[in-house]
Amino acid sequence: MPRFLHMFQSNIKSFEVVGGGEVKTGSILRWKYCLEGSPVMEANLKLEALDDARNIIMFDVVEGDALKLYKRFKGKPEIEKANNDTPNPDGYLDLTAKVSKGMDAHLCK
């Protein structure tokens, strides 16, 4: 989990475990985060899967600012760097956002 926070330290301001006692599958985490140009927002995430060895985390937003706009918000980032010199996947994340927006615009026509 600390590696994930480090990758997005300009956006993720804090998190705390509010249910489940520790960071593990089934835990509820409260995140404080910022989107580009936004004030600090909050979300409670339920960890559906967590595997540090395989760098997998799956979550479902169960409460918070994102659900004011979206009925459901789930995620599964799965990243494994080839070596320590590999850059963070920022470009791929930006591309994912663009593709998602384009698909949404296409499907809403």
Walk along the chain (109 residues) and give the pLDDT tens digit of each residue: 555 566 667 778 888 899 778 888 999 999 898 887 889 999 999 999 987 777 678 889 999 998 998 888 888 877 777 888 887 777 667 766 766 677 667 667 7
Per-residue confidence (pLDDT) for residue 87, from 0 to 100: 79
Which pLDDT does position 48 carry in this prediction? 93
Q: What is the pLDDT of residue 7?
A: 65
H-type alpha helices, 20-75: none
Q: List, in order, residues 6 or more apart from 41 with CB less than 8 Å away.
A: 32, 33, 34, 35, 64, 65, 66
**CATH of 2-84 given 3.30.499.10, 3.40.640.10, 3.30.530.20, 3.90.420.10:** 3.30.530.20
